[in-house]
Structure 1
Amino acid sequence: MAKRSNAWTTVPEILDELGITRHTWQRWRALGKTPPCTVLPNRKLRIRRVDFENWLSSLEERAA
């Protein structure tokens, strides 16, 4: 069976992985510089893991 690409991650998990603060995340999000986020009915954000990894790769490519 193929690996499913619908795994989700939370903002706190991303903050921890990137080593940034929530304030930095919110600023980046306001500027449109974060991966696409889905707002759940409880107003919590979720990010598809594949979108996060693609976004991170694009940042690495721009830095090279």
Structure 2
Amino acid sequence: MYKDSATHIERRGRNFGILAVLLAFIVIVFGITVAKIQTGGFSEGFDHVARPALIPQEEASQ
């Protein structure tokens, strides 16, 4: 076998740090997604289109 140099050891440590940050980000996004789904409410984003759900029923029938 061969012995890793100091540069490889430092890079390995940095890579594990980046891995930890990415995994934490994924867990946070997943947690927020689950929390939004569990609320059960229908949420519409602001997407610059008319939203029929906001039109009162009296105006919609005209």
Same fold (TM over 0.5): no
Hey, which of these two has a bigger chunk of helix by percent?
2
Pair member with larger Rg: 2
Q: TM-score, normalised by structure 2?
A: 0.30
Larger strand percent: 1
Relative contact order (alpha carbons < 8 A, sep ≥ 6): 1 or 2 greater?
1
